[in-house]
């Protein structure tokens, strides 16, 4: 982080610590609590934040309660807790904590603790980040629009939850909160302040941290793994870089090729099989914790993560792809929607997910990997991602041939045939002859 940005954070944290050390608006604090806060004030003043004193509310990537000490977020993301305290009418700022997001906690007038969750969206343009969010299968009424008076921002609301997307930095900053905790109009000054905040390079860290989090060796299975099967299928042979992978038919072959390229540590072959903007993160269609697959290291960290994840699955594991209606297959082939395929463990906790993007090149179908989702460690329980929006549907909806008009694909680009979606039509058939288990459609939503 630049010195000026760090100094600003430390001074802001110090200003917030003064009322905390004096008891502030804490309702009836015990003498013990006051003494402990005062005694720890000196070392804490060097921190760039006020650390939340309670236990983290989010689980770790194992799906278990966090045991490590609370730590400051990588950046303040331009968010001013003091301004949020005043504008929203909270009575006390309780501090921040890096968890599955950067979580700021406040005490409300009624005594409840409210969370404001900041999520950095890395290596995805603002319009694409908003588009990914808006494709979520929100239940009930859903609002998505630019806030009045802040036309460069975007916010969205569903079931009493609101998310605001703030542009202006190399990352997209998303702030999420419950509308019952702070009315949207009272949050607008906070968002306007974020919009004007100076850029902080330290913010370019995806949360939760997925890449670089391999803290254990590759697990040893009782028998051969997916890696063994892929290596035996074509020993020492990386995929042919000139081969085409028309979707949905060649989905399995494309995924197998990616795994073989990773096994061979063949960076050029890997790059030839993925989209230029491909990302890697948790196995979730919302692309949580994702960042560029190739940036900075030509895919080295992504290869290590993919190999570690694949090593946890036995050789007999089957790649499952969603059933796709024959009327929707042209959408997949042209790349208007992602095709999702996954390996899933017997207990349903561990997943290895691939988002595939079709394309038409010189009149022929082809495909590339756009997203790889994998846990850096094997989960021991289902991971509950608090405050996240609804995930996009895994099954592509058939498009009706009435009410023709311009529409856009899931990247925000004009689609090929201008046919709107008709969600009432059931899907049938399967890609690559795969017949998925019925429950697989919902398994990805466990993360």
> Does residue 50 contact residue 93 with C-beta atoms inside 8 Å?
yes
Distance CA 165, CA 155 (A): 6
Q: Looking at per-residue confidence, does 232 or 222 come out higher?
A: 232
Q: Residue 382, Cα to own-chain centre: how many angstroms? A: 16
- What is the secondary structure of 150-184 as a DSSP string? -TT-EEEEETTEEEEEE-SSSSEEEEEEETTTS-H
Among 317, 295, 313, 293, which residue's Cα sits nearest to residue 305? 293
Q: Which pLDDT band, with edges at 50, 70 and 90, does 235 fall under?
A: low
pLDDT at residue 440 tops 90: no
Distance CA 357, CA 19 (A): 53
Q: Which pLDDT band, with edges at 50, 70 and 90, does 241 fall under?
A: confident
Q: Which pLDDT band, with edges at 50, 70 and 90, does 121 fall under?
A: very high
Q: Which pLDDT band, with edges at 50, 70 and 90, does 180 fall under?
A: very high
pLDDT of residue 25: 30
Kindly give, in sequence order, each residue whose CB lies less than 8 Å from that of residue 86, ignoring residues fewer than 6 positions away.
none
Residue 214 β-bridge partners: none
Q: Which 8-state DSSP code applies to residue 131?
A: H
In this prediction, residues 212-241 reach a mean pLDDT of: 71
In this prediction, residues 321-336 reach a mean pLDDT of: 90
pLDDT of residue 325: 85
pLDDT of residue 218: 57
Q: Which pLDDT band, with edges at 50, 70 and 90, does 339 fall under?
A: very high
Distance CA 345, CA 226 (A): 12
pLDDT at residue 125 tops 50: yes
pLDDT at residue 295 tops 90: no
Kindly give, in sequence order, each residue whose CB lies less than 8 Å from that of residue 265, ignoring residues fewer than 6 positions away.
303
Token pair of 79 as six digits: 């968010």
pLDDT of residue 56: 86
pLDDT of residue 411: 57
Of the listed ranges 11-20, 67-76, 111-120, 243-252, the least confidently predicted one is 11-20
> Using CA of residue 191, residue 193, residue 194, residue 195, what is the dihedral sign?
positive
With a pLDDT cut of 90, the percent of the chain lying above it is: 64
Distance CA 104, CA 56 (A): 11
pLDDT at residue 417 tops 90: no
The residue whose two tokens read 């594991």 is 317
Of the listed ranges 2-6, 223-227, 308-312, 416-420, the least confidently predicted one is 416-420
> Does residue 187 contact residue 87 with C-beta atoms inside 8 Å?
yes
Average pLDDT score over the chain: 81
Domains, the chain, in order of start with CATH, read 50-203 (3.40.1000), 226-446 (no CATH)
Q: Looking at per-residue confidence, does 43 or 71 come out higher?
A: 71
Q: Which 8-state DSSP code applies to residue 313?
A: S
In this prediction, residues 260-264 reach a mean pLDDT of: 93
pLDDT of residue 28: 31
Distance CA 213, CA 429 (A): 38
Find the distance separating the first CA and the last CA of the chain, reported in whole Å.
31
pLDDT at residue 345 tops 90: yes
Distance CA 317, CA 379 (A): 18
In this prediction, residues 8-13 reach a mean pLDDT of: 48
pLDDT at residue 175 tops 90: yes
Q: What is the largest CA-CA distance in the chain?
A: 76
Token pair of 116 as six digits: 């404001």
Residues of 23-43 as b/e, b for ≥16 C-beta within 10 angstroms?
A: ebebeeeeeeeeeebeeeeee
Highest mean pLDDT among 31-35, 181-185, 231-235 belongs to: 181-185
Distance CA 307, CA 291 (A): 18
Highest mean pLDDT among 54-58, 63-67, 258-262, 400-404 belongs to: 258-262
Q: Residue 229, Cα to own-chain centre: how many angstroms? A: 30
pLDDT at residue 209 tops 70: yes
Distance CA 308, CA 303 (A): 8
pLDDT of residue 47: 77
Q: Is 433 left (phi over 0), alpha (psi -120 to 50) or beta?
A: left
pTM for this model (two decimals): 0.81
> Using CA of residue 350, residue 262, residue 205, residue 40, what is the dihedral sign?
positive
pLDDT of residue 219: 60
Cβ-based neighbour number of residue 329 at 10 Å = 19
Token pair of 331 as six digits: 């959408």
pLDDT of residue 264: 92
Can you tell me whether residue 107 is helix, strand or coil?
Answer: strand
* Pairing relationship of beta strands 113-121 and 172-178 according to DSSP bridges: antiparallel
pLDDT at residue 6 tops 70: no
pLDDT of residue 101: 97
pLDDT of residue 415: 39
Token pair of 66 as six digits: 């966090």
In this prediction, residues 281-302 reach a mean pLDDT of: 94
């Amino acid at each position: 982080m630049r010195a000026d940005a760090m100094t600003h954070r430390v001074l802001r944290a110090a200003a917030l610590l003064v009322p905390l050390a004096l008891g502030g608006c804490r309702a009836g604090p015990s003498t013990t609590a006051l003494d402990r806060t005062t005694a720890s004030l000196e070392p804490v003043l060097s921190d760039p934040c006020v650390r939340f004193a309670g236990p983290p509310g989010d689980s770790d990537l194992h799906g278990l309660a966090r045991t490590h000490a609370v730590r400051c977020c990588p950046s303040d993301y331009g968010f001013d807790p003091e301004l949020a305290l005043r504008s929203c009418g909270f009575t006390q700022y309780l501090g921040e904590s890096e968890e599955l997001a950067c979580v700021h906690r406040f005490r409300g007038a009624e005594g409840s603790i409210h969370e404001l969750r900041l999520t950095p969206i890395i290596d995805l343009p603002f319009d694409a980040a908003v588009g990914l969010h808006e494709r979520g299968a929100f239940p009930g009424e859903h609002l998505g629009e630019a806030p009045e008076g802040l036309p460069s921002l975007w916010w969205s609301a569903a079931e009493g939850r609101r998310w605001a997307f703030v542009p202006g930095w190399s990352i997209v900053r998303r702030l999420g909160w419950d509308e019952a905790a702070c009315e949207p109009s009272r949050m607008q000054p906070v968002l306007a302040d974020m919009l004007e905040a100076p850029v902080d390079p330290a913010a370019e860290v995806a949360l939760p941290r997925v890449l670089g989090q391999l803290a254990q060796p590759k697990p040893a299975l009782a028998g051969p793994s997916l890696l063994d099967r892929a290596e035996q299928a074509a020993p020492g042979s990386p995929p042919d870089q000139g081969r085409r992978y028309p979707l949905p038919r060649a989905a399995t072959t494309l995924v197998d090729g990616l795994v073989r390229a990773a096994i061979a540590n063949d960076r050029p072959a890997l790059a030839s099989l993925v989209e230029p903007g491909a990302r890697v993160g948790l196995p979730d269609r919302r692309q949580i914790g994702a960042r560029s697959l190739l940036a900075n290291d030509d895919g080295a960290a992504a290869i290590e993560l993919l190999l570690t994840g694949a090593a946890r699955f036995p050789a007999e594991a089957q790649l499952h792809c969603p059933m796709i209606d024959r009327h929707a297959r042209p959408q997949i082939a042209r790349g208007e929607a992602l095709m999702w395929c996954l390996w899933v463990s017997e207990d349903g906790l561990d997943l290895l997910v691939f988002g595939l993007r079709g394309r038409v090149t010189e009149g022929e179908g082809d495909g590339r990997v756009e997203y790889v989702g994998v846990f850096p460690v094997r989960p021991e329980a289902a991971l509950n991602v608090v405050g996240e929006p609804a995930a996009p549907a895994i099954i592509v909806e058939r498009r009706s041939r009435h009410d023709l008009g311009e529409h856009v694909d899931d990247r925000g680009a004009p689609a090929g045939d201008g046919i709107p979606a008709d969600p009432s039509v059931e899907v049938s058939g399967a890609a690559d002859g795969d017949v998925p288990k019925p429950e697989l459609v919902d398994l990805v939503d466990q993360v």
